[in-house]
Structure 1
Amino acid sequence: MQRRYTSLAAAGIATALTLTLSGCGGGQGDRVTLKLVAADYGDGTGPGSRQYWDRLTRAFEKEHPGIKVDVDVYNWKDVDKKVADLVRKGHAPDLAQIGSYADYAAQGQLYSADELLSIPVQADLQPTLAEAGEVGRVQYGIPFAASTRRLFYNKKLFAQAGIAEAPKTWDDVAEDAELLKKQGVKTPYALPLGPEETQAESLNWLLGGGGGYTDDIGKYAIDSRANVKTFEWLRDELVDKGLTGGDPATLNRADAFARFADGTVGMLNGHPALIKQAEAHGIDYGTADLPGKDGPAASTLGVSDWMMAFQHNGHRTQVGKFLDFVYQDTNVLNFSRDFGLLPVTTSAAQKMAGDHRFGTLQDFVAPLRDAQFYPANKTSWPEVAKALKSEMGAAVGPKGDPSSILSDLQNMAEAADTAGG
């Protein structure tokens, strides 16, 4: 679930080892060790993803005694680089569960989803997530963890300010933020446009204003008129009026979440990980659809982390068996429950609905149907996202010029896209 809302993990240092008993290399009777590099979704207070994978691989190996799965788990800041280093050295793992897949797909290094997954499992992937994993209409990225965004608000602070319900429009947000400010709330609206996750916060607002990072045919449209007007509104109606508690360009998402959990933030856009954080601090919170320019936003940001399978070791059959096991409902729901992320299969999402054990998390599932994702199928996206993180926040500063900054970002994105293509 990014960049994000948490982190992935894993990169192996050794090449997957194939012990061939029949001499056929890759045949049904071979004993094979698969190498999986995975990300750690833990929050530092428990065993994290390692325990999840240990439990899952033991169950899989019991059903498939000819296949062993060796998992290396790394934190988010290291895992993508670990996989990249392995691939560069010619030791690609069989599987990697990381943040992006497009570069490897473009280089012809990955199996497609239909080469790996059984038809029922592939058909069960949530459609918006499966489509976000496509390059050239072929799916290479298999969604593993997902999240959407909703507005979180502090019910106690809202009540003290005389606010009866969550805002539905941007004007409501500004009005409610003014009321919270008058009550002495330090940060009426937390707007994290710092270098950690600016691309996420920005996209939520762009969608609410009828824009986005790309147009209907997939070309970058960062400097569209709708996007410029969105950032002008943020600058004029929230930041300049002192409703964000400081300069958004210096506020990271993790800090914004921590302030909400401390009870000093009135409202902010948040993903499911904030549920556990807020509840651990005893915050009486509510969630609502993201406000848009003229009403609730038609769509929200969806974020997915990806599972992919490299062709390097030739273990297609064994990898496919393992992935069919990974995406069984029990395993998908166990992961969602352990880490507060959304199920990536339709059947698991249906089972989550109405299950009290998942609490508020259920409210984040339905928005996946209409969610908008980063253009992760573009090889240029990592470079563009890096530029957004470093530049976007300045557009709403005291001397911010959204038109100029978004134009510069558009030019950079077009150049990166051309080079990548």
Structure 2
Amino acid sequence: MKIRILAGAVALASSFVLCGCGQLSGTGADGRTVTVWLMKGSASQGFLDRFKESYEAERPSVELEFVLQEWGGIGPKVLKALEGDDAPDVIEVGNTQVAQYAETGELRDLTLESVRDLGGEDWLPGLAEPGKVNGAQYGIPWYAANRVVIYNKDIFARAGITALPTTREEWVDVTERLNTSGRQGIYLAGQNWYVLAGFVWDEGGELAEDGGGDWKGALDSPAALRGMDFYRTLQALGEGPKDADEQSPPETDVFAGGEIAQIISVPGSAALIEQRNPALKGKLGYFPIPGKSAKKPGAVFTGGSDLIVPEGADQRGEGIEVVKALAGERWQTELARAMSYVPNKPALAKVVEGQPGTSAMAEGATEGRATPNSHYWPAVEADNPIKTYMTAVLEGGDPAEEARKASDRITSTLITG
């Protein structure tokens, strides 16, 4: 699962629906070709060209072949490749998809490389944790993206707000002040469950809990209920629909009307907003989703990509070297700057200074999390009971009872798929 990603982070704003495919190919001097599947839009042509030229100059006997894939339908395609006789040597996958692929037994365990060569102990948890299954690191973090608060500077200025909120309490206070005649302090759709997940994690709750391999829905815990209560408070400060998600209608279109002070989205959404309303160009700002205290930002769902190496790949060893290069500091720095991504280590966040949206995203990413690391989690999202639960509560249902029903549905799905 990816909130999944973009040229300049825009595709993340579109739920990572990326189209088209192509390839850059060749054969090394000794016939060694390393095939790398990347998702279309994850890296620019310029980045791929520079990486290919540099890598092949350092390893003259190797030729890189980049094959660009679409996100749509990629799951079955990867599974088929892993189980076949002609697997690529490296595959980019959504960070929360790793468990599904590891279940096949066809992924190379990269734990040694992650510790010895890549400083894996310093990776963003939202990328590293879903890449680890049963104690083994199968997915190597490549890049991340997450939601921030995008705000209208003019509306903030007219309300006399000069200091951005750094706590939930301040955020609610500011949003109430922004609610003036004809304007909404925030637009938050009722079924934006990725945002809810952050509030649940802030309270110490979980969407589901792992009881030693037996997953169980956990929305009915006291901590998770507190997260939902805060969501309800915030959502009530605007006129977002209670029975729809952020794409119905697209929140970027609503915000582009110019009468909404804030939305919670990825920074790349700003480009879509400005396309809809050029008058807002230069008038949008960003800040991390506030946490319960000013000591750290709020928890966020981290979307992004990990790199995996099929166990049966012909050039598996060289594939591992490609992964190490792409995940290393030099190319992490270049990718982050070229694509406005969050690099895989907080220590590298300085490389996106001067990019306000990406900098806010990088700050929030330090508190990033991923969805439950069960290979059945995609089935939960396919018929998402969290959305149904949120609407029921926002429309006046009993939170505890609705959370119990949603948790039961999650448990059932995580048991049977």
The two structures have a TM-score, normalised by structure 2, of: 0.79
1:222-254 Cα distance to aligned partner (Å, 9 max, x none): 22122224324433x345x56234336243299
Deviation at 1:390, TM superposition (A): 4.9
Aligned CA distance change for structure 1 residues 120 and 250 (closer, same or farther; 3 Å): closer
Query: 1:182 is paired with a residue of what secondary structure?
Result: coil
**1:381 corresponding residue in structure 2:** 377
Are residue 39 (structure 1) and residue 33 (structure 2) matched?
Answer: no
8 Å CA contact 2:27–2:64 kept in 1: the answer is: no
Aligned CA distance change for structure 1 residues 127 and 397 (closer, same or farther; 3 Å): closer
Alignment of 1:46-57 (within 5 A): 49-57=44-52
8 Å CA contact 2:189–2:245 kept in 1: the answer is: yes
Matching residue within 119, 122, 135 for 2:133:
135
**2:338 corresponding residue in structure 1:** 338
Are residue 93 (structure 1) and residue 92 (structure 2) matched?
Answer: no
What letter corresponds to residue 202 of structure 1 in structure 2? L
Query: 1:269 is paired with a residue of what secondary structure?
Result: strand
8 Å CA contact 2:82–2:106 kept in 1: the answer is: no
8 Å CA contact 2:200–2:227 kept in 1: the answer is: yes
Matching residue within 409, 415, 418 for 2:415:
418
1:30-50 Cα distance to aligned partner (Å, 9 max, x none): 6322222211236xxxxx644
Deviation at 1:413, TM superposition (A): 2.4
Measure, in 2, the Cα distance between the counterparts of 1:76 and 1:298: 29
Measure, in 2, the Cα distance between the counterparts of 1:12 and 1:85: 18
Query: 1:131 is paired with a residue of what secondary structure?
Result: helix
8 Å CA contact 1:192–1:201 kept in 2: the answer is: no
Query: 2:244 is paired with a residue of what secondary structure?
Result: helix
Measure, in 2, the Cα distance between the counterparts of 1:412 and 1:302: 24
Alignment of 1:17-416 (within 5 A): 31-41=31-41, 49-87=44-82, 90-99=85-94, 100-114=97-111, 119-123=116-120, 126=123, 128=125, 129-185=127-183, 187-194=184-191, 198-214=192-208, 220-235=217-232, 237-239=233-235, 241=236, 243-247=238-242, 249-252=244-247, 255-274=250-269, 276=271, 281-292=280-291, 299-345=299-345, 348-350=348-350, 352=351, 355-356=353-354, 358-375=355-372, 377-386=373-382, 387-388=384-385, 390-416=387-413
Deviation at 1:64, TM superposition (A): 1.7
1:256-303 Cα distance to aligned partner (Å, 9 max, x none): 234435533211223342455567741423333423457675533333
The two structures have a TM-score, normalised by structure 1, of: 0.78
Deviation at 1:189, TM superposition (A): 1.3
Query: 1:200 is paired with a residue of what secondary structure?
Result: helix
Deviation at 1:140, TM superposition (A): 0.6
8 Å CA contact 1:9–1:38 kept in 2: the answer is: no
Deviation at 1:407, TM superposition (A): 1.9
Query: 2:319 is paired with a residue of what secondary structure?
Result: helix
Aligned CA distance change for structure 1 residues 209 and 249 (closer, same or farther; 3 Å): farther
8 Å CA contact 1:193–1:201 kept in 2: the answer is: no
Deviation at 1:378, TM superposition (A): 1.6
Measure, in 2, the Cα distance between the counterparts of 1:214 and 1:318: 38
What letter corresponds to residue 343 of structure 1 in structure 2? P
Deviation at 1:73, TM superposition (A): 1.5
8 Å CA contact 2:188–2:238 kept in 1: the answer is: no
What letter corresponds to residue 67 of structure 1 in structure 2? V
1:289-344 Cα distance to aligned partner (Å, 9 max, x none): 42345767553333332111111224221112212222343321222122211111
What letter corresponds to residue 2 of structure 1 in structure 2? K
Deviation at 1:102, TM superposition (A): 0.7
1:31-79 Cα distance to aligned partner (Å, 9 max, x none): 322222211236xxxxx64443243223322322322222222333343
8 Å CA contact 1:10–1:39 kept in 2: the answer is: no
Q: What's the RMSD between the two structures over aligned residues? A: 3.7
What letter corresponds to residue 182 of structure 1 in structure 2? T
Number of matched residues?
Answer: 395
8 Å CA contact 1:189–1:267 kept in 2: the answer is: yes
Aligned CA distance change for structure 1 residues 136 and 118 (closer, same or farther; 3 Å): closer
Deviation at 1:108, TM superposition (A): 1.2
Measure, in 1, the Cα distance between the counterparts of 2:120 and 2:205: 30
Aligned CA distance change for structure 1 residues 18 and 282 (closer, same or farther; 3 Å): closer
Measure, in 2, the Cα distance between the counterparts of 1:254 and 1:143: 32
Aligned CA distance change for structure 1 residues 320 and 199 (closer, same or farther; 3 Å): same
Deviation at 1:360, TM superposition (A): 4.3
What letter corresponds to residue 2 of structure 2 in structure 1? Q
1:154-198 Cα distance to aligned partner (Å, 9 max, x none): 22112223334334454544444343332311x43122455xxx4
Q: Any stretches of 5+ residues in structure 1 without a counterpart?
A: 20-28, 43-47
Query: 2:374 is paired with a residue of what secondary structure?
Result: coil
Deviation at 1:82, TM superposition (A): 3.1
Q: Name the % identity.
A: 22
What letter corresponds to residue 80 of structure 1 in structure 2? G
